[in-house]
Amino acid sequence: MTASRTRAARWPAARPWLGVAARLGLAAVWLVAGGAKIDDLAASGRAVNAYQVMPYDLATVIGAALPFVELALGVLLLVGLATRVVAGVSTALLLVFVTGIASAWSRGLAIDCGCFGSGGQLAAGQAPSYLPEILRDLGFLVLAGFLLIWPRTPFSVDGWLAGESPVEDLDE
């Protein structure tokens, strides 16, 4: 058997477990991000406002709602419920985040993205770290994209509701 056939034969066995890793990894991201902001919703609103792309009142409402959305996405991914829908929402949200960070960078704003905490304006002389933030979010986008294509994973409510055993019949 050639090397390419060997790799192709391994994919059906590895794909479900890569899906579990993607689902749980993205769940952890959303749970940590939402959990880091939930204690100070006003700070989350100020972080959204720091991007200077919408009126202050709208930014504060979005900032206050964002931790709850992130926590809900994380819980749904953790249990594997509505995985494809959650992956789609995650994809959209991550694209908004990447666009926002790139916009702040291109406009010369000096802000902390607020992705995993309060965020907002940086102190004078403090340099923003836009490229690592964008690359990190693109990595999360890969996880969401994987789940958009292959949402069925072992040990998920989606599979249980479909009457599947935890590791059988995962091709979709």
The per-residue pLDDT for range 1-18, each reduced to its tens digit, is 566 667 777 888 899 999
What is the rounded radius of gyration, in angstroms, for the C-alpha atoms of the chain?
Answer: 19
pLDDT (0 to 100) of residue 165 = 67
pLDDT (0 to 100) of residue 167 = 56
pLDDT (0 to 100) of residue 141 = 98
pLDDT (0 to 100) of residue 82 = 97
Predicted TM-score of the model (pTM): 0.89
% of the chain surpassing 90 pLDDT: 74
pLDDT band at 172 (very low <50, low <70, confident <90, very high): very low
DSSP single-letter state for residue 123: P
Angle of the 3-37 helix axis to the 130-149 helix axis, nearest 10: 120
* Per-residue b or e along 128-167, where b marks 16 or more CB atoms closer than 10 Å to that residue's CB: bebeebbebbeebbebbbbbbebbbbbebebbeeeeeeee
**Short-list 133, 41, 50, CA closest to 94:** 133
- For residue 169, pLDDT over 70 is answered with no
